[in-house]
Amino acid sequence: MIAQEAQYRDWMLAALMGDAGAYRKLLEGLTRHLRSYYARRLDPAAAEDAVQETLIAVHTRRASYDPALPFTAWVYGIARYKLIDEYRRHRRRATVPLDEAADLFSHDETEETIARRDVTRLLDRLPPAKRQLVKDIKLEGVSVAEAAKRTGMSESSVKVTVHRALKSLAEDVRDGEDPNADR
């Protein structure tokens, strides 16, 4: 069973009884999971729309939740339906990735924020010029040719610089300089 099931189910049952406070917590919690779920499957603007559409569906269709069944499966059913709907509207994909309810609840925005912060902290150890190169090429997806033009370096030295920078960061992490390490 999904870890958050009991908590969410309690909130939902209270919400169905008319408890606005529990309902608010429920919607805020779901928003974090939904943002992450759609961000991995849609482009940013469509993702936020899908989050809102799903929240509205949760609201207007809340009578369709059967307390005898898992709440997480119910929300996941709606989230997936809205995803398929989005794909269908833009005729982007004929098939929908196979996943399950656990997929919706195994990620949330907080985790991704932490990961992003870790990367930023790690990158801060590099000298500014190198940091910019690694950020551009590895995170922003700028091409090597483009980065070379921006910095005035040759393409091959851009590649070498990025490669060395990553290698030194990897060594730092291996040596226990993991930004996550408790010290």
Binding site for other proteins (CB under 8 A): 15-20, 23-24, 27-28, 31, 48, 51-52, 55-57, 59, 61-67, 69-70, 73-78, 80-81, 85, 101
Smallest separation (angstroms) from other proteins to the CB of 96:
12
Q: How far is the CB of 18 from other proteins (least distance, A)?
A: 4
Query: In this structure, are residues 3 and 105 in contact, taking their beta carbons and an 8 Å threshold?
Result: yes
> Given the complex with other proteins, which of 99 and 118 has the nearer CB atom?
99
DSSP character at residue 173: I
Nearer to other proteins, 61 or 92 (CB): 61
21 vs 124, beta carbon nearer other proteins: 21
- What whole-number distance in Å separates Cα of residue 151 and Cα of residue 94? 42
Residue closer to other proteins by CB (options 66, 140) is 66
How far is Cα 87 from Cα 83, in angstroms, rounded to an integer?
A: 6
Q: Which is nearer to other proteins, 30 or 169 (CB)?
A: 30
Compute how many other C-beta atoms are within 10 angstroms of the C-beta atom of residue 99: 15
Find the DSSP H helices in 40-138. 44-60, 71-90, 101-105, 109-123, 128-134
Q: Min. distance of Cβ 111 from other proteins in angstroms?
A: 19
CA angle 146, 112, 59 (to 5 degrees): 120
112, burial (CB in 10 Å: exposed 0-12, middle 13-18, buried 19+) = middle
Smallest gap from residue 69 Cβ to other proteins (A): 6
Cα-Cα-Cα-Cα dihedral sign, residues 125, 126, 128, 131 = negative
User: Least separation, in Å, of the C-beta of 17 and other proteins?
Assistant: 6
Q: Least CB distance from residue 72 to other proteins, whole Å? A: 8
For 166-181, give the secondary structure using H, E and C.
HHHHHHHHHHHHCCCC
Nearer to other proteins, 80 or 130 (CB): 80
